[in-house]
């Protein structure tokens, strides 16, 4: 075991290294793609070195999801918060999260929603979804929308955005047509959320 620990340290493999590799697997294939042996091979270490950093695979999956939350929710909210007003923040948010229609996105986040129960991470996924809904709801309330209606619109916006990503993966040729540009999507969603012209 000491030899394994020394080899792992020599290669610079840390908790962060494992987490980053697990996040890459998550983004590409959902939580089911986080396989300790496969990641160990990618990192050039044995499976045994994994246990110096994590108690079990579930702990690694949770670490990857926490990093996904940091990058895909907290960082995006920070970016949106750079706006001076609630309207500016909402515009920045929509510009950031809108699908990129010129290239397919990895399907991992969509699979995360589908695999959450099987992988035992539903609570983590629900926490992230709630945080996203709360943020959009609060922006809409600041823009004068009644809270219950704001929550309904925020839910619709998240559903549409996730659905557009899913369709772009499943039917990329159709979804890349000029009428479905990223700008058109953000403008349509902005109007649906606020009732104002973009």
pLDDT digits (tens, 9 = 90+) for 75-129: 999 999 999 999 999 999 999 888 766 566 778 888 888 888 998 889 989 999 9
Per-residue pLDDT, 1? 43
Q: What are the residue boundaries of the structural domains of the chain, listed by start?
A: 2-194
pTM score, whole prediction: 0.83
Instruction: Specify the pLDDT at position 72.
Output: 87
Confidence of residue 6 (pLDDT cuts 50, 70, 90): very low
CATH architecture assignment, domain 2-194: Orthogonal Bundle (1.10)
pLDDT tens for 43-71 read: 999 888 898 899 999 999 999 999 999 98
CA distance 151 to 156: 9
Give the pLDDT confidence score for residue 23 in this predicted structure.
95
Residue 34 dihedral angles phi and psi, to the nearest 5°: -80, 95
Over residues 19-40, mean pLDDT: 94
Contacts 24+ apart (CB under 8 A), 67-76: 67/19, 67/20, 67/22, 67/23, 68/23, 68/26, 68/27, 68/109, 68/112, 68/128, 69/124, 69/127, 69/128, 69/131, 71/23, 72/109, 72/128, 73/128, 73/131, 73/132
Q: Which residues contact 132 (CB under 8 A, 6 or more apart)?
A: 73, 154, 158
Query: In the structure encoding, which two tokens stand for residue 169, read together?
Result: 């993966």
Q: pLDDT (tens digit, 9 = 90+) per residue, 178-191?
A: 666 778 888 989 99
Closest by Cα among 158, 155, 157 to 189 = 157
């Amino acid at each position: 075991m000491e030899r394994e620990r020394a080899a792992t340290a020599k290669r610079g493999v840390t908790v962060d290294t494992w987490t980053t590799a697990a996040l890459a697997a998550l983004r590409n294939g959902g939580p089911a793609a986080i396989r300790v042996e496969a990641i160990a091979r990618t990192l050039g270490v044995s499976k045994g070195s994994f246990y110096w950093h994590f108690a079990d695979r579930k702990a690694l999956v949770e670490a990857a999801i926490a990093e996904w939350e940091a990058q895909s929710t907290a960082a995006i909210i920070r970016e949106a918060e750079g706006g001076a007003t609630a309207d500016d923040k909402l515009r920045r948010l929509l510009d950031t999260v809108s699908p990129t229609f010129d290239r397919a996105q990895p399907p991992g986040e969509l699979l995360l929603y589908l695999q959450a129960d099987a992988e035992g991470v539903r609570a983590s996924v629900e926490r992230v979804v709630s945080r996203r809904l709360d943020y959009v709801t609060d922006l809409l309330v600041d823009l004068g929308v009644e809270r219950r209606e704001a929550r309904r619109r925020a839910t619709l916006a998240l559903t549409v955005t996730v659905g557009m990503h899913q369709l772009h993966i499943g039917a990329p040729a159709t979804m890349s047509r000029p009428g479905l540009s990223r700008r058109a999507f953000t403008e349509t969603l902005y109007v649906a959320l606020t009732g104002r012209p973009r």
